[in-house]
Amino acid sequence: MEAKKFELGDVVEMKKQHPCGTNEWKIIRMGADIRIKCEGCQHSVMIPRREFEKKLKKILIPANPVTEEQN
Ligand SMILES: [Zn+2]
């Protein structure tokens, strides 16, 4: 199984949207626990990294988009 790559500042989509109706979360802290903030209502939640990885659906906006290497 391929691990999803996420990093601080990424805006991600989770498998479940927030009760406010938004499904865009910004990663605002990384550690053993991940803190994400709802982009709709600014509510933030802390979840264990393992659980975050399970609930993560996709990265919407990478904080650092991969750029092609220049020769
Ligand atoms: Zn919300």
- Mind giving me the DSSP string for 2-67? PPPP--TT-EEEESS--TTS---EEEEE-SSEEEEEETTT--EEEEEHHHHHHHEEEEEE-SS---
pLDDT 10s digits, 15-46? 999 999 999 999 999 999 999 999 999 999 99
pLDDT, average across residues 3-13:
90
CA of 44 to the centre of ligand 1 (A): 8
pLDDT-based confidence at residue 71 (cuts at 50, 70, 90): low
CA of 70 to the centre of ligand 1 (A): 40
CA of 13 to the centre of ligand 1 (A): 12
CA of 66 to the centre of ligand 1 (A): 28
